A = this chain, B = another copy of it.
Amino acid sequence: MKIGVIGGGQLGRMLALAGTPLGMNFAFLDPAPDACAQALGEHIRADYGDQDHLRQLADEVDLVTFEFESVPAETVAFLSQFVPVYPCAESLRIARDRWFEKSMFKELSIPTPAFADIQSQADLDAAAASIGLPAVLKTRTLGYDGKGQKVLRAASDVVDAFAELGSVPCLLEGFVPFSGEVSLVAVRGRDGETRFYPLVHNTHDSGILSLSVASSDHPLQALAEDYASRVLNKLNYVGVLAFEFFEVDGGLKANEIAPRVHNSGHWTIEGAECSQFENHLRAVAGLPLGSTAKVGESAMLNFIGEVPDVRKVMAIDDCHLHHYGKAFKVGRKVGHATLRCADRATLDAKIAAVQALIAQA
């Protein structure tokens, strides 16, 4: 079976590493000449709107999936004429726009911070007054890793904020005094079967995920699965979907969903029986889903900007290096390490050891 992937970055690369042992081949459509997934499959170098090359991809593969959600709707619609596309166009339409996403949460009675659609500075002024400050202004589309957003703490921050984010459609979101951030990586098969990985505690640094720690028997696991199930079934979703939540007063408020394999699920490569990458491929290919059970105690640490001394990373037993083969650049995700340990105390000690290497880099 040949899988087409829109995007050829590290998520495509890790999909191919998971899918090759299943007997799958891969083609990646990505305009970047140095797309790092190309080591593991065919690289169709073209823009996402290039219909000739999209048609070539569709003709070569059995199905198409995505490694990012900002794929133009026209691209999805075009491909869907020729080849099965998972997740479906509607899933991408919702997930790539914060207004649609938040409105869906509301419709499904999933708690989420107060929010308002912002089409102008006047909208923002009115929403800031009704929602109150602090609040976060985010572009409706194309935001990631803390980009395309601004925290509004005082009235002076509100002035001109709409223009500062480019005068594009935005969402204003009430600030939530959360005690933690957790994510749930879920997978739904073509037949509607769902499976869920253990909740993950996430820590961010300058808006970019730095550390994910898989939980054991998290008290909010069942609640998170309930919320995620509503979304998965509403969208008739197929594949892996990541759901980010704020922990607030012992409950959860939905932050956002990502209709794809997700950075907070990278620990599953070694830390779960079947990884998020393999499970995404199993789902889109109509194969039985794999076990989401945890194997030991596991965490993931991102390498941002550069990979620390690989010799030192590899010298830590239980530490698994994932080098994306990308050029190093400030703020860029260039690799990660997964830890898998027998107990939590060992895990915590090894997290500290990897963090020390990151600090030295």
Chain A interfacial positions (CB closer than 8 Å to B): 13, 17, 20-23, 25, 39-41, 273-274, 282, 287-288, 290-291, 293, 295-296, 307, 310-311, 314-315, 317-318, 320-323, 325, 335, 340
Contact = CB atoms under 8 A, between A and B. Distances in A.
Given A23-B323, A291-B318, A295-B295, 14 more contacts: A13-B20, A17-B20, A17-B21, A20-B39, A20-B40, A21-B320, A21-B322, A23-B310, A23-B321, A274-B320, A282-B314, A287-B314, A288-B315, A291-B317
A311 B323 contact: no
Contact of A311 (B13, B288, B318, B321): B288
Contact of A288 (B40, B273, B293, B314): B314
Contacts of A23: 307, 310, 321, 323, 325, 335
Nearest to A42: B39
Contacts of A323: 21-23
A164 to B, nearest CB: 38
Nearest to A14: B21
This chain: how many copies in the complex?
2
A187 to B, nearest CB: 13
B22 A321 contact: yes
Contacts of A287: 310-311, 314
A293 B318 CA distance: 9
A290 B317 CA distance: 6
Contacts of A39: 20, 25, 40-41
Contacts of A311: 287-288
A21 B40 CA distance: 11
29 contacts: A17-B20, A17-B21, A20-B39, A20-B325, A21-B320, A21-B321, A21-B322, A22-B310, A22-B321, A23-B310, A23-B321, A23-B323, A23-B325, A25-B39, A25-B325, A39-B40, A40-B40, A273-B317, A273-B318, A273-B340, A274-B320, A287-B314, A288-B311, A288-B315, A290-B314, A291-B317, A293-B317, A295-B295, A295-B296
Contacts of A310: 22-23, 287
